[in-house]
Structure 1
């Protein structure tokens, strides 16, 4: 079983370069960071995790690609990924270039985890409506994949349109695309169409969801065995990891609090004890 970690990287938490080095030194496989461009103060949308008050780190989240570039630069093996990127809120041409550059410079160590978003007023600031966000994410990812995979790439869609173009560098390894979100037919249709895996937040209910994921992949002509399932933001225990291994899961991403090194390092030591 491979173990990675995810943390809200902020201006108050453990510096990401130190975190990345510490994770790699302990044998952890990956580091994922989330994204929020800003948090409108109206707070019309309640916190997605059901908190009474939105945690401070949501207001202070660092840009994920800049952050991961720092993490990749000070490590040699660590996979660096977004968990998750709000792809609907980003220009796909600019983002494709940034991701390809990061993947190129890191030697193919980047993984793109994307999500559809929950903060209505945040996405509205980017000109995206809640009702269309899934369609926008889909087109943005498909357009980026065209730019990554073709020497001459163009795209014509409802939300993205650009003429045949050149764009280098190309990513070394794809990069793999993982989709975060709760199990359901819409989510699994997206995974089957244009992703390489599913990152269920917390990992609850994974076993019951696997048949529906397999069915969606088969319907789309995809091999279900090629789709990764990576429980995300979980707190590990020996029993839980054994349970996941029994489902054929090979990697779990463990949750870290957004906190200074004095808090984070003992947790990393604890997580590494499961390796």
Structure 2
């Protein structure tokens, strides 16, 4: 089992290139970074685990730019969004940015995609909250057309463009893997089964709750659930019992550990602790 890292890359903590180099030197497999374009002050939407949102939620770097910088400083580290809020992004521009990042990184990009939790943030991008899942679905399908076809077009409810040329193409054939993030549930399961290359659950409870539903959704459409990549991403570091359960399930290729949003020395000390605890000698 491999281990990666996830963090809020911001202007207040360790530079993303430095942590990428440190991660690769210690033997971690990947680095995933989060996204918020901005953070409305209304707080109508909230995360139940926080009385006040941590400062990093309003300071995130653009993830594709941050990962491009990280790609230039590393050689083998996989680089991912954990997650990109795709409903809030224009798909043609995003498709080109993703393809460029994948090409420049040597095919090392993992496209983690989420539906979002902050309704006000989405509204500022013109997203109708009840339509966001459909918008994400169409954006993924439309972007794959741009990545795969010499002449691409798409005609959907949320995305439309006429027959077009769009280069560069990603280095990974067909585009980078699309890993859908979320706790789990029947709606997410249908999305993962239909167009996801994998799933980014948060913690062992999410895996136990969501995995049977994803398997059932795959079976309903005749897809082999073994084709999906399952990568628990974020939350608390797994206990030995949770890691053993992941091994028993036999589907977990990698576990992604949360890095604190903290000063440089604390972040590097956390990486050393994780390396000693989770990585083989």
TM-score normalised by L of structure 1: 0.97
Deviations 1:53-111 (A, max 9, x none): 01100110110000000111100000000000000000000000000000011111001
Structure 1 segment 58-137 matched on structure 2, within 5 A: 58-137=57-136
SS at match of 2:204: coil
Aligned partners of 1:224 and 1:37: how far apart in 2?
33
Query: 4+ residue stretches of structure 1 with deviation over 3 A?
Result: 236-239
Q: Distance in 1 between matches of 2:244 and 2:21?
A: 27
Any stretches of 5+ residues in structure 1 without a counterpart? Answer: none
Aligned to 1:203: 204
Q: Secondary structure at the match of 2:52?
A: coil
Distance 1:208 1:111 in 2: 24
- Cα distance, 1:208 vs structure 2: 4.2
1:263 aligns with 2:263: no
- 1:200-226: CA deviation from partner (whole Å, max 9, x where unpaired): 122324134322211111222221101
Alignment partners' CA distance in 2, 1:269 and 1:236: 16
Q: Cα–Cα, structure 1 residues 205 and 36, in superposed 2: closer, same or farther, change >3 Å?
A: closer
Cα shift at 1:192: 0.8
Q: Distance in 1 between matches of 2:9 and 2:258?
A: 12
1:18 matches 2:21? no
| Structure 1: distance between partners of 2:204 and 2:97 | 30
RMSD: 1.1
* Counterpart for residue 156 of structure 2: 157
Would you say the 8 A contact 1:6–1:233 is kept in 2?
A: yes
Q: In structure 2, what is the Cα distance between the partners aligned to 1:213 and 1:262?
A: 40
TM-fit CA distance, 1:240: 2.5
Q: How many residues align?
A: 274
Contact (CA 8 Å) 1:236, 1:271: kept in 2 or not? no
Provide the rounded CA distance (Å) in 1 between the counterparts of 2:167 and 2:204.
36
2:188 maps to 1:191: no
**Match of residue 141 from structure 1:** 140
Partners of 2:210 and 2:37 lie apart in 1 by: 31
Q: What 5-or-longer segments of structure 2 have no aligned partner?
A: none
Q: Does structure 2 conserve the Cα–Cα contact (< 8 Å) formed by 1:116 and 1:137?
A: yes
Partner residue in 2 for 1:216: 217
Q: How does 1:19-58 map to 2 (within 5 A)?
A: 19-46=19-46, 48-58=47-57
Give the alignment's TM-score, normalised by structure 2. Answer: 0.95
